Amino acid sequence: MSHLSEYDPEIAGAIENEINRQRNGLEMIASENFVSRAVLEAMGTPLTNKYSEGYPGKRYYGGNQWIDVVENFARERLKQLFGAQHANVQSHSGSTANMEAYFTLANLGDTIMAMNLAHGGHLTHGSSVNFSGKFYRFIPYGVRQDTHRIDMDAVRALAKAEKPKVILAGYTAYPREIDFKAFKEIADEVGAAFMVDMAHIAGLIAAKVHPSPIPYADIVTTTTHKTLRGPRGAAILCKAQWAEKLDKAVMPGMQGGPLEHVIAAKAVAFKEALEPSFVDYAKNIVFNAKALATSLIDEGITLVSGGTDNHLILLDLTNTGVTGKQAEVALDSVGIYTNKNMIPYDPRKPFDPSGLRIGTPALTTRGFDKDDMREIGVLIAQVVKNYGNETVYEGVRRKVKELTEAHPLYPGLTVL
């Protein structure tokens, strides 16, 4: 019996149940993934005990010689992975990373241009209930109503009219490739800094399955736990000219002590992402997403922008008679995990929007292939089209069991 299950059966029990939920369900939330055993091990270490405010070689506390080794490996591997000039691996989350990037590039109250939240932007890209919308003047750009793709001519016209300090690209629900070069040209035309938030697509960029923003952007933020398949957290890359200001914006500007057990796990994940097998993984994410999109289209489901170039798919449920929230809850009940999502020009409200977002990073890690994806597309369509029909749901539950048993998650792992 583990120390945890002996001392705290309530928490140990909930952890055990959560592991079983992950094992027995289809994890299709586009922002989630399953880390390796090596990453898990690195996180659960006594590195959590150490205070190491500052940076390698310049700490506010003693006893950091081994912590410095860990953080230096994390920084160097991340720079190598993306070909970047400078890396900071201390950001606790994607949201704080974005705050730190804004602190570096702009002054409070400055104008920042970013994607409309209903068109795929993130909460930290200017939502009025988020620090971003309170600290800065955000001007949203969006996608075209007919193509659901970013209209670069409209972005240019808006940039010329608003003269932003920063132009931000990188999204949370945009299924298409992003033209970073075109954004950079517009930023240069209006004298703006160019920032990219690659949280969702970092793994695809690392594997060169999506074009890289590194040659163009002043600062690139990323989470480490999405397609990059590392621990929950974030990192920031930048051009050498911003390095000092950025490091100061992270600490002391925004954060205190870094989470070095998580930084150790980030280092392990970056090593994994440098392996040739990670390129195959990232390619398979996209193959799988395309197979799933085709399957859904064959089932008569409408997709925002008509398909996908990356790891995620946005279903437009408008003509199904089921809302995004209803679909999410129904799919939850059969063990298919997704999230409701706004679609561009959504007539409904954020808490019960018309869309559903799904993605393939997590299931691809489990070894699901394109045939599995075709089957999952049919299952999702069955649940949506037979909303409330328990007999159909029961059949889907059986199929989910077969699929998850064919691709076991963490085989042989006993955490507790």
- Give catalytic residues, as residue numbers: 51, 53, 197, 223, 226, 232
- Whole-number Å distance between alpha carbons of 170 and 176: 11
Is residue 127 involved in binding ligand PLP (CB under 6 A)?
no
Which lies closer to ligand PLP via its Cβ, residue 31 or residue 360? 31
- Whole-number Å distance between alpha carbons of 98 and 96: 5
Identify the residue among 32, 197, 316, 328 touching ligand PLP (CB under 6 A): 197
- Whole-number Å distance between alpha carbons of 373 and 360: 9
Q: How far is the CB of 193 from ligand PLP (least distance, A)?
A: 17
Site for ligand PLP in 49-108 (CB under 6 A): 93-95, 98
- Whole-number Å distance between alpha carbons of 126 and 166: 12
Angle between helices 94-105 and 243-250 (to 10 degrees): 130
Is residue 31 involved in binding ligand PLP (CB under 6 A)?
yes
Binding region for ligand PLP (CB under 6 A) out of 41-49, 130-138, 197-205, 321-329: 197-205
Which lies closer to ligand PLP via its Cβ, residue 227 or residue 295? 227
Is residue 200 involved in binding ligand PLP (CB under 6 A)?
yes
Identify the residue among 50, 59, 77, 122 touching ligand PLP (CB under 6 A): 122
Among 107, 94, 86, 126, which Cα is nearest to 246's? Answer: 86
Q: How far is the CB of 96 from ligand PLP (least distance, A)?
A: 7
Is residue 308 involved in binding ligand PLP (CB under 6 A)?
no
Going by the DSSP 8-state scheme, the letter that residue 385 receives in this structure is H
Among 349, 355, 359, 342, which Cα is nearest to 115's? Answer: 342
Site string for ligand PLP, 225-254 (x = CB under 6 A): ---------x--------------------
Kindly give, in sequence order, each residue whose CB lies less than 8 Å from that of residue 22, ignoring residues fewer than 6 positions away.
34, 409
Tokens of 354: 């018309």
- Whole-number Å distance between alpha carbons of 189 and 192: 8
Is residue 223 involved in binding ligand PLP (CB under 6 A)?
yes
Tokens of 208: 């060169």
Residue ranges in contact with ligand PLP by CB under 6 A? 31, 93-95, 98, 122, 124, 170-172, 197, 199-200, 223, 234
